[in-house]
């Protein structure tokens, strides 16, 4: 379904002069159930041959004719699509789509941790989701909704219980440039996400060069510098720093043969730098 809650069935990029499968109906099931609760069998054909849509040239699709879809209960529903090929044979695809049947969904969320570092990337997220019933016009707990917790670039999905509550663990990946914690509906598009304020704890980075010197290079050539990149842990019980392989660095030299100054010792080649925990230093 799109942002206007219309059923849209895409059949793929292809030459519109070549007949493709013709969708004949979409069956709606409650998520996780085999019982069909509604059937959409009036689909209008569209195609774009001029690149005016975001889908590109020669994209064909079928779209619901605008009749409202009325279901008994709020929650997540799965879609099975059926089509006919050129020979009239019916083809089916189970779980071709999923949507949340609810209005004005709102998520409240909390976290067991609000301060994160490269040593503390995970947390336990709990909360609840409510929504307005499309037919009864009352706000109720949204049961069976697929909620998605997001911490930086890490995500975790969880299904809300009968009271609309959820709980899941989620972890950042450690390569983020900024960190945020939120919960949204995985198959919704009109909800108000739950936001949790978080802080990041800085750590000191340590760069140690291992390439021996002195170095000589011609103009236009490249020199590969190797080393290790580590970080200082704040706790005394842990090792003073943890090394990670540093990507090769290439540098250009000035015109003509040039010789670098005498290479510093291993101790003097270690340069502490300030770092944020999120980028994954």
Domain range for 156: 103-200
What is the model's pLDDT at position 182?
95
C-alpha–C-alpha distance, residues 128 and 142, integer Å: 8
The position carrying tokens 């900024």 is 178
Residue 25's pLDDT band, with cuts at 50, 70 and 90, is: confident
User: Does residue 2 fall inside a structural domain?
Assistant: no
User: Does residue 1 fall inside a structural domain?
Assistant: no
**Number of folded domains that form the chain:** 3
C-alpha–C-alpha distance, residues 30 and 37, integer Å: 7
CA angle 125, 152, 192 (to 5 degrees): 60
Among residues 44, 76, 101, the one where a domain terminates is 101
What is the model's pLDDT at position 274?
40
234 shares a domain with 156 = no
What is the model's pLDDT at position 72?
86
User: Does residue 150 fall inside a structural domain?
Assistant: yes
C-alpha–C-alpha distance, residues 117 and 235, integer Å: 12
Provide the pairing of β-strand 43-48 with 154-159.
unpaired
User: Does residue 3 fall inside a structural domain?
Assistant: no
C-alpha–C-alpha distance, residues 60 and 43, integer Å: 12
42 shares a domain with 73 = yes
> What are the helix (H) ranges across 184-243?
none
Residue 68's pLDDT band, with cuts at 50, 70 and 90, is: confident
Give tens-digit pLDDT for 227-258. Answer: 998 888 766 444 444 444 434 444 444 444 44
194 shares a domain with 127 = yes
User: Does residue 265 fall inside a structural domain?
Assistant: yes
Among residues 101, 119, 136, the one where a domain terminates is 101
C-alpha–C-alpha distance, residues 131 and 142, integer Å: 6
Q: The domain spanning residue 121 has which CATH number?
A: 2.60.40.10
Distances (CA, A) of 271 to 18, 188, 210, 227, 264: 64, 48, 12, 11, 12
81 shares a domain with 154 = no
User: Does residue 175 fall inside a structural domain?
Assistant: yes
Retrieve residue 233's tokens.
């842990």
Give tens-digit pLDDT for 34-57. Answer: 999 999 888 777 776 655 555 555
In this prediction, residues 261-279 reach a mean pLDDT of: 40
Residues near 235 by beta carbon (within 8 Å), at least 6 away in sequence:
none
110 shares a domain with 161 = yes
What is the model's pLDDT at position 51?
53
24 shares a domain with 53 = yes
Among residues 101, 123, 151, the one where a domain terminates is 101
Lowest mean pLDDT among 6-20, 163-177, 210-224: 6-20
The position carrying tokens 């750590």 is 203
231 shares a domain with 154 = no
User: Does residue 258 fall inside a structural domain?
Assistant: yes
Residue 272's pLDDT band, with cuts at 50, 70 and 90, is: very low
213 shares a domain with 167 = no
250 shares a domain with 175 = no
C-alpha–C-alpha distance, residues 117 and 169, integer Å: 16
15 shares a domain with 90 = yes
Yes or no: say if 14 and 20 are a contact pair by the CB < 8 Å rule.
yes
Yes or no: say if 279 and 172 are a contact pair by the CB < 8 Å rule.
no
Yes or no: say if 184 and 193 are a contact pair by the CB < 8 Å rule.
yes
pTM, whole model, 2 decimals? Answer: 0.66
Distances (CA, A) of 67 to 4, 63, 64, 70, 198: 12, 11, 7, 9, 44
168 shares a domain with 230 = no
Residue 124's pLDDT band, with cuts at 50, 70 and 90, is: very high
């Amino acid at each position: 379904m799109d942002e206007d809650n219309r059923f849209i069935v895409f059949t793929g990029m292809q030459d519109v002069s070549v007949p493709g499968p013709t969708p004949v109906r979409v069956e709606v099931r409650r998520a996780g159930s085999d019982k069909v609760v509604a059937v959409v069998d009036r689909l209008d054909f569209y195609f774009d041959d001029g690149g005016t849509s975001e889908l590109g040239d020669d994209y064909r699709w079928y779209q619901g004719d605008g009749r409202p879809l009325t279901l008994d209960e709020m929650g997540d529903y799965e879609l099975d699509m059926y089509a006919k090929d050129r020979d009239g044979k019916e083809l089916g695809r189970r779980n071709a789509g999923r949507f949340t049947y609810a209005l004005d969904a709102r998520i409240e969320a909390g976290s067991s941790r609000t301060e994160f570092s490269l040593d503390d990337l995970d947390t336990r997220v709990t909360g609840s989701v409510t929504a307005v019933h499309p037919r009864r016009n009352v706000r109720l707990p949204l049961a069976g909704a697929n909620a998605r917790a997001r911490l930086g670039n890490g995500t975790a999905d969880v299904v809300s219980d009968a009271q609309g509550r959820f709980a899941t663990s989620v972890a950042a990946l450690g390569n983020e440039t900024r960190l945020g914690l939120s919960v949204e509906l995985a198959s919704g598009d009109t909800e108000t996400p739950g936001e949790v304020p978080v802080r990041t704890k800085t750590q000191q980075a340590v760069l140690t060069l291992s390439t021996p010197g002195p170095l000589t290079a011609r103009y236009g050539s490249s020199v590969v510098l190797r080393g290790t990149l580590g970080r200082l842990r704040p706790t005394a019980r842990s090792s003073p720093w943890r090394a990670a392989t540093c990507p090769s660095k290439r540098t250009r030299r000035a015109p003509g043969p040039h010789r670098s100054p005498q290479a510093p010792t291993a101790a003097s080649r270690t340069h502490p730098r300030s770092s944020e925990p999120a980028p994954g230093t």
